[in-house]
Structure 1
């Protein structure tokens, strides 16, 4: 870059130097206001929801032409506190027959709309379950599984309750892989799923995105024979699955559904949703 020097004073030179340094800030990184490509402000702890990291990494979609058409699929939604009070009757009448509700995050947050969302979905006739947003950098997997179970993440053999979900995806609060190596992440997930099964008798569903799984677990196949897969991919086809899983159980195909909540296809007709609930 050429600098015009005509008429430059000492004060002017100092001001110019300061101007060049300002976009870097004290830490040497550009601010969002000065650089549109800079990282956005870190969201508040507890505000994460299923797919939040996927949206940040892959975008929202939406699916062109509406929902992907599958031979046998049952529509469902996932919701959290950012959806507020949900109009469950509207969703039911639109064809949504099952739901997952965020219960907890880490060992520090419980969904403030949990009662309305969890009981409301049940009261209109839906099969429903709960999910936990994992933060592997804050506490152990076992501690988070206990917190989840103790705050809405349990399971009962009533035919209307789905097993809990471990939501493990891009970290909205910091380092993509939560500061863990691939082997360390696999060990953390194993700690969670083992404790959850010990507490409830069920293997939890694992929600993730293939690209995150490959990056942060080294594309581990350790859970493919025990834990149902809920895959996040906002496109017209599900694409590559993480290693070991021959098929997905649930596909979150868009975060921009026609009604509230992220929209999902259950891989099978309604009887398969019932089968997962019954264990």
Structure 2
């Protein structure tokens, strides 16, 4: 289960949302209030988005179908975390078989995860292969500025064999219209520009995290990225289901949020290392 966010005032102080982090006119230009669904998922303020938040807002579902899924051969267990988890007990996660982890670093151009160092470095320190992710807000600012912000605040990459390429979390909008007020072609262009800037900055193709439903609705099921960017699909079920965008296979699959967001890498640990090495 997710930890509730602090009150808005406390969150501003604790998460470093300085007055200079967002333009003074942002409140009039952009919807910064979480939707009802987002509030049900524990998002109480701008900056609170996290991978798979909408699934958390939906009615509880049985996890009985997930029994044994992590024991599948040639798949490697991972987790993804954000500020909701606070300080993570990485030693316990390692003992539970987790071998890779992604940590939310940024959102838009206004938010940095205050727990990032503990989460990102903590995973590394126990031996995990780690990566960082950016929660996209295409309604707020340009894709280039968001990619630059991400790289500058934890989303970079180094060829150390332990750092995965950054992940673009592009999914349901917690603050308003599902597709962030963009047409399908505009959304594809936004995503392309973000990915191009990220690659220009780091030399790596970022991972794309999304859901099949959102991708179909908001990009028209675009096939523009299925040969360059690894797919991380979210589906809380016993299988990953129909994949979006013509991807022939998933690289990661977020399959549950209980007791923490859990994911499978579609390959053994050597494949995780290969993605990290580039």
Q: Where on the TM-score scale, by shorter chain, does this alignment land: which range?
A: 0.7 to 0.9
In the other structure, the counterpart of 1:219 is 221
Q: How many residues align?
A: 238
Residue 182 (1) aligns with residue 184 (2)? yes
In the other structure, the counterpart of 1:275 is 274
Residue 241 (1) aligns with residue 240 (2)? no
In the other structure, the counterpart of 1:91 is 93
Which ranges in structure 2 are unaligned for 5 or more consecutive residues?
1-35
In the other structure, the counterpart of 1:264 is 263
Which structure has the greater CA radius of gyration? 1
In the other structure, the counterpart of 2:149 is 147
Q: Pick closer, same or farther for the CA change 1:40–1:158 going to 2, 3 Å.
A: closer
Q: 1:75 aligns with which of 68, 74, 77?
A: 77
Residue 61 of structure 1: how far off its partner (Å):
3.9
In the other structure, the counterpart of 1:52 is 53
Contact 2:37 2:174 in 1 (8 A): no
- Alpha-carbon distance between aligned partners in 1 of 2:261 and 2:210, rounded to the nearest angstrom: 14
- Alpha-carbon distance between aligned partners in 2 of 1:111 and 1:256, rounded to the nearest angstrom: 22
Residue 180 of structure 1: how far off its partner (Å):
0.5
SS of the residue aligned with 2:84?
helix
SS of the residue aligned with 2:165?
coil
- Alpha-carbon distance between aligned partners in 1 of 2:63 and 2:86, rounded to the nearest angstrom: 24
Which ranges in structure 1 are unaligned for 5 or more consecutive residues?
1-37
Residue 244 of structure 1: how far off its partner (Å):
1.6
In the other structure, the counterpart of 1:5 is none
RMSD, aligned CA: 1.5
In the other structure, the counterpart of 2:6 is none
In the other structure, the counterpart of 1:63 is 63
- Give the alignment of 1:92-241 within 5 angstroms: 92-241=94-243
- Alpha-carbon distance between aligned partners in 2 of 1:158 and 1:143, rounded to the nearest angstrom: 26
The TM-score, its normalising length taken from structure 2, stands at: 0.82
- Alpha-carbon distance between aligned partners in 1 of 2:98 and 2:119, rounded to the nearest angstrom: 14
The TM-score, its normalising length taken from structure 1, stands at: 0.82
- Alpha-carbon distance between aligned partners in 2 of 1:52 and 1:190, rounded to the nearest angstrom: 23
SS of the residue aligned with 1:213?
helix
- Alpha-carbon distance between aligned partners in 2 of 1:102 and 1:39, rounded to the nearest angstrom: 20
In the other structure, the counterpart of 2:256 is 254
Contact 1:250 1:266 in 2 (8 A): yes
Q: Pick closer, same or farther for the CA change 1:75–1:61 going to 2, 3 Å.
A: farther
Q: Pick closer, same or farther for the CA change 1:61–1:277 going to 2, 3 Å.
A: farther
In the other structure, the counterpart of 2:20 is none
Q: Pick closer, same or farther for the CA change 1:114–1:214 going to 2, 3 Å.
A: same
- Alpha-carbon distance between aligned partners in 2 of 1:102 and 1:264, rounded to the nearest angstrom: 15
Residue 63 of structure 1: how far off its partner (Å):
2.6
Q: Pick closer, same or farther for the CA change 1:40–1:90 going to 2, 3 Å.
A: closer
